[in-house]
């Protein structure tokens, strides 16, 4: 008879005895009794047909017809059907890792095209193959500035997405980097200044005014920018630009997976984290693609590594590549202009009702001042509207995209009290 168990009872006892325990329950002796359970209470097994019917029954209880005005780093945007159709083809889904260029030319070319598009939108010289998300892109940009300048103090604008700031602080604490939100401290001891435009609250900033305050030539400027907005707003002149790929061809997906973009000036390319795909020619003179920069521990000496980013979000970046290809610059500009126009229409309607905005200089998100945020949002939700993100008791962050119809905007303004 074949024994399918990984270990025999004698082997288990031998391992337990080696660490001074009598049985497996002793492994969990330190856990509180109130969190322990004797069984999973899963019930009896069901057939595939029965499970399918049960799942459909549970799914029917979900309410999915809300008009969505949520933003704050992830927004609901239109994604052409061909994006998922193309990106889910087996050539991409099962493609081999690009380390072996001879059998992964398709993957390498798609990454190369992605990098080219990011450079075009950001007006930067070099883009890497993508990052895990916008938060890690911001944090890695800070680490890069510290490496380049040899300084360990950075300034992060307090209007940067709070989640991004948390990740930056986590990275910085482990690397003994001092992080401050006071931009008045700009001086010769600062490695970099990081700001977001449009910022977390939707406001657009004049980056040139900030650049004038950075008088030390070594201090780097890092800008976190919405990729869609870069099609209509002039890309800020900075050293490094980062941001999220979620709005460009990727669904909300309950919070992920997302990806971030990372682009910089040519002089910093060898300090850039992650990997870069380049175009060359093979021995016969034909166009070929290969990894030209992969500065992590696996490839170079540990002390020379720029990060432990071992991979890029290739599939998410591919979806962005297909999305940008299908829309083109003209289509992307239309998406951006529609979003901005609809957002300002809603803002004007709300101001006509007596509401105030925190700032009128915004792209497609704005902060609405209300008397009671909980009551305001619950009243909208009762009318099938997800009205925004509660910032505090008297402020709500509202996001409008091309997905919000005129009827939804009218309903928002009508039911807002």
pLDDT of 274: 85
318 and 347 together in one domain:
no
20 lies in a domain? no
CATH at 373: 3.90.1150.10
What torsion, rounded to 10 degrees, do the Cα atoms 6, 9, 10, 13 define? 100
Residues 149, 256, single domain; the answer is yes
Question: Which DSSP string do the residues of 243-295 spell out, in sequence order?
Answer: EESTTTT---GGG----EEEEE-GGGGGG--SEEEEEEE-TTS-EEEEEEEE-
Residue in this structure with the two tokens 């998406």, named with its chain if needed: 335
Residue 4, domain member (yes or no): no
Position 8 scores a pLDDT of 87
Mean pLDDT by 10 residues, the chain (417 residues): 71 92 89 83 88 94 92 96 91 72 86 97 96 95 96 97 97 95 92 97 94 93 97 96 97 92 96 91 92 70 66 89 97 98 98 96 97 97 97 98 98 97
Could you tell me if 318 and 341 lie in one domain?
no
Asked if residues 172 and 155 have their Cβ atoms less than 8 Å apart, the reply is no
What is residue 297's predicted lDDT score, i.e. its pLDDT? 55
Count of structural domains, the chain: 2
306 in the same domain as 180 = yes
Residue 254: other Cβ atoms inside 10 A: 5
Dihedrals phi, psi of 347, to nearest 5 degrees: -60, -45
What pLDDT, in 10s, does the model give residues 119-129?
A: 999 999 999 99
The whole-number pLDDT of residue 71 equals 96
Spatial separation of the C-alpha atoms in residues 234 and 209, rounded to whole Å: 15
Please give the pLDDT value at position 101. Answer: 78
Q: 122 near 366, Cβ under 8 Å? A: no
> Domain boundary residue among 299, 323, 347?
323
Long-range CB contacts for residues 196-199, cutoff 8 Å, separation at least 24: 196/157, 196/159, 196/160, 196/161, 196/164, 196/223, 196/224, 196/225, 197/223, 197/224, 197/225, 197/236, 198/225, 198/226, 198/229, 198/362, 198/363, 198/364, 198/365, 199/157, 199/159, 199/160
Out of 298, 323, 348, pick the residue that ends a domain.
Answer: 323
What pLDDT shows up at residue 181?
A: 95
Q: Could you tell me the CA-to-CA distances from 200 to 205, 295, 360 in Å, in that order?
A: 11, 31, 14
Q: Supply the DSSP symbol for 296.
A: S
Q: Is residue 219 domain-shared with residue 254, that is, in the same domain?
A: yes
CA distance 328 to 3: 59
Are residues 149 and 288 both part of a single domain? yes
Q: Do 185 and 113 lie in a common domain? A: yes
Question: Does residue 373 belong to any structural domain of this protein?
Answer: yes
Pair 396, 406 in one domain = yes
Both 188 and 297 in one domain: the answer is yes
Residues 290/293/298/303 CA torsion (nearest 10 deg): 170
CB-side neighbour CA atoms (13 Å) of 398: 37
pLDDT at position 294 is 77
Does residue 261 lie in a domain region? yes
How far apart, in Å, are the Cα atoms of 120 and each of 65, 113, 114, 117, 181?
37, 11, 10, 5, 31
From the centroid of its chain, how far is CA 167? Answer: 12
Q: Are residues 260 and 166 in the same domain?
A: yes
- CB atoms under 10 Å from CB of 399, counted, come to 24
User: Could you tell me which residues come within 8 angstroms of residue 410 by beta carbon, excluding any fewer than 6 positions away?
Assistant: 349
Structural domain range at position 390: 67-79+329-415
Shared domain for 287 and 374, answered yes or no, is no
Would you call 230 helix, strand, or coil by DSSP?
helix
**Cα–Cα distance measured from residue 170 to residue 314, given in angstroms and rounded to the nearest whole number:** 25
Q: Indicate whether 189 belongs to any domain.
A: yes
Quick check: is 8 in a domain? no
pLDDT of amino acid 329 = 95
State the alpha helices, DSSP H only, in 60-161.
81-87, 90-93, 105-122, 134-149
Residue 368 tokens, joined: 């609405």
Angle between helices 406-415 and 373-381 (to 10 degrees): 130
Average pLDDT, rounded, for the chain: 92
Q: What CATH number did the domain enclosing 241 receive?
A: 3.40.640.10
Do 94 and 71 lie in one domain? The reply is no
Answer whether residue 15 is part of any domain. no
Question: Is 1 among the domain residues?
Answer: no
- What Cα–Cα distance (Å) separates residue 244 from each residue in 118, 127, 226, 259? 11, 14, 7, 6
Among 305, 323, 341, the domain-final residue is 323
Question: Does residue 281 contact residue 356 with C-beta atoms inside 8 Å?
Answer: no
């Amino acid at each position: 008879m074949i024994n399918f168990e990984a270990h025999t009872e004698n082997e288990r006892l031998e391992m337990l005895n080696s660490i001074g325990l009598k049985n497996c329950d002793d492994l969990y002796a330190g856990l509180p009794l109130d969190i322990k359970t004797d069984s999973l209470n899963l019930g009896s097994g069901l057939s595939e047909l029965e499970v399918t019917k049960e799942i459909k029954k549970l799914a029917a209880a979900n309410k999915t017809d809300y008009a969505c005005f949520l933003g704050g780093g992830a927004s609901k945007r239109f994604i052409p059907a061909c994006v998922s159709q193309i990106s889910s083809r087996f050539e991409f889904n099962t493609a081999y890792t690009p380390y072996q260029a001879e059998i992964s030319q398709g993957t390498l070319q798609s990454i190369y095209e992605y990098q080219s598009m990011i450079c075009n939108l950001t007006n930067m010289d070099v883009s890497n193959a993508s990052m895990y998300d916008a938060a890690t892109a911001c944090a890695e940009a800070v680490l890069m500035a510290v490496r380049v300048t040899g300084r360990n103090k950075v300034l992060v604008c307090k209007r940067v997405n709070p989640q991004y700031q948390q990740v930056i602080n986590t990275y910085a604490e482990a690397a003994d980097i001092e992080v401050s939100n006071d931009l008045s401290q700009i001086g010769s001891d600062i490695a970099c200044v990081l700001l977001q435009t449009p910022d977390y609250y939707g406001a657009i900033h004049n980056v040139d005014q900030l650049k004038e305050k950075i008088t030390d030539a070594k201090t780097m400027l890092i800008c976190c920018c919405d990729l869609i907005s870069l099609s209509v707003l002039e890309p800020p002149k900075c050293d490094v630009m980062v941001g999220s790929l979620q709005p460009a061809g990727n669904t909300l997906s309950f919070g992920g997976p997302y990806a971030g973009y990372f682009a910089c000036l040519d002089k910093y390319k060898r300090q850039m984290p992650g990997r870069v795909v380049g175009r060359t020619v093979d021995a016969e003179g034909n166009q070929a693609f290969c990894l030209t920069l992969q500065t992590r521990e696996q490839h170079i000496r540990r002390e020379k590594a720029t990060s432990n980013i071992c991979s890029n979000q290739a599939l998410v970046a591919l979806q962005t590549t297909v999305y940008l290809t299908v829309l083109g610059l003209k289509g992307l500009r239309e998406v951006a202009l529609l979003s901005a126009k609809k957002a300002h229409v809603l803002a004007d309607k709300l101001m006509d009702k007596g509401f105030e905005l925190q700032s009128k200089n915004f792209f497609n998100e704005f902060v609405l001042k209300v008397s009671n945020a909980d009551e305001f949002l619950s009243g909208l939700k009762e009318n099938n509207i997800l009205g925004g993100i509660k910032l505090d008791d008297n402020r709500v962050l509202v996001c409008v995209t091309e997905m919000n119809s005129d009827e939804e905007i009218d309903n928002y303004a009508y039911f807002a009290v």
